[in-house]
């Protein structure tokens, strides 16, 4: 179980770094920018979570996260033509979905066990863990941030964290089961969004044709 979780974490880290390089590359980047964007995307969300929880920043003692995200950024940079192919990109998107599912619930669980602002705190920190790195990447690269796009990305994460908080409030002794269920829920929801190109439905949106008040 522990081993499986660590393996999934490394897969998610690779996917975060690689998709970050792919996302930023169309604007023209050098090797260093690729590495910085890859590493910051992989560690950014968890770093902000740990600062808010007043816990030691996770990558100081889990240095593999830095090495793996660095290596994934380098490989994506040098093998850009191979990796930017449609099939590889699609695979990376699904692996990225593994990453956001795992990191969201890990973040929510860390906050929950610390009793940090239950029940809203863990939901907020789970979302920050999963998408904080991507937001940082978008802001530094001058891209429209993922919060402003119609892609279903933050919504599956939030739904899963809300489900986790509800299950933990109902049955805290089944923590592991709740975690596995909600990781599955986020991954399934996000994978469906990738597979069928689902977008945020209109009834869930305010349209942007209104003048700024």
Binding site for its own copies (CB under 8 A): 22-23, 25-34, 36-37, 39, 47, 51-52, 54, 56-57, 59-61, 63, 66-67, 70, 77, 80, 84, 86, 89, 116-117, 120-121, 124, 127, 135, 139-142, 144-145, 147-148, 150, 154-155, 158, 200, 204-213
Question: Residue 78: CA atoms inside 13 Å, Cβ hemisphere, count?
Answer: 5
Give the shortest CB-177-to-its own copies separation in angstroms. Answer: 26
Give the shortest CB-68-to-its own copies separation in angstroms. Answer: 11
8 A C-beta contact, residue 16 and residue 99? yes
Structure token pair of residue 68: 């793996």
In sequence order, what DSSP letters do the residues of 109-137 get, joined into one string? HHHHHTT-STTHHHHHHHHHHHHHHHHHH
Distance, in Å, from the CA atom of 20 to the CA atom of 43, rounded to the nearest integer, reads 12
Give the shortest CB-98-to-its own copies separation in angstroms. Answer: 19
Using a 10 angstrom Cβ sphere, with 0-12 exposed, 13-18 middle and 19 or more buried, the burial of residue 168 is buried
Closer residue to its own copies in complex, CB, 117/175: 117
Beta bridge partners of 199: 151
8 A C-beta contact, residue 125 and residue 53? yes
Which letter does DSSP use for residue 201 in this model? Answer: -
Structure token pair of residue 101: 């599912």
Structure token pair of residue 195: 């597979």
Give the shortest CB-15-to-its own copies separation in angstroms. Answer: 14
């Amino acid at each position: 179980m522990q081993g499986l979780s660590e393996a999934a974490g490394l897969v998610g880290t690779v996917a975060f770094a690689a998709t970050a390089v792919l996302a930023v590359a169309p604007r023209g980047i050098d090797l260093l920018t690729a590495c910085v964007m890859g590493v910051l995307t992989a560690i950014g969300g968890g770093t902000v979570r740990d600062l808010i929880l007043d816990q030691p920043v996770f990558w100081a003692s889990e240095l593999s996260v830095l090495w793996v995200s660095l290596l994934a950024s380098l490989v994506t940079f040098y093998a850009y033509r191979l990796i930017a192919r449609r099939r590889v990109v699609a695979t990376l998107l699904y692996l990225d979905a593994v990453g956001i599912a795992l990191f969201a619930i890990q973040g929510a669980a860390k906050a929950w066990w610390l009793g940090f602002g239950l029940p809203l705190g863990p939901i907020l920190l789970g979302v920050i863990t999963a998408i904080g790195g991507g937001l940082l990447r978008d802001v530094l690269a001058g891209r429209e941030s993922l919060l402003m796009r119609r892609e279903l990305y933050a919504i599956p994460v939030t739904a899963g964290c809300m489900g986790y908080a509800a299950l933990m409030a109902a049955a805290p002794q089944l923590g592991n089961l709740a975690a596995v269920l909600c990781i599955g829920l986020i991954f399934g929801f996000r994978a469906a969004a990738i597979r069928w190109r689902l977008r945020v439905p209109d009834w869930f949106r305010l349209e942007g044709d209104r003048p700024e008040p």
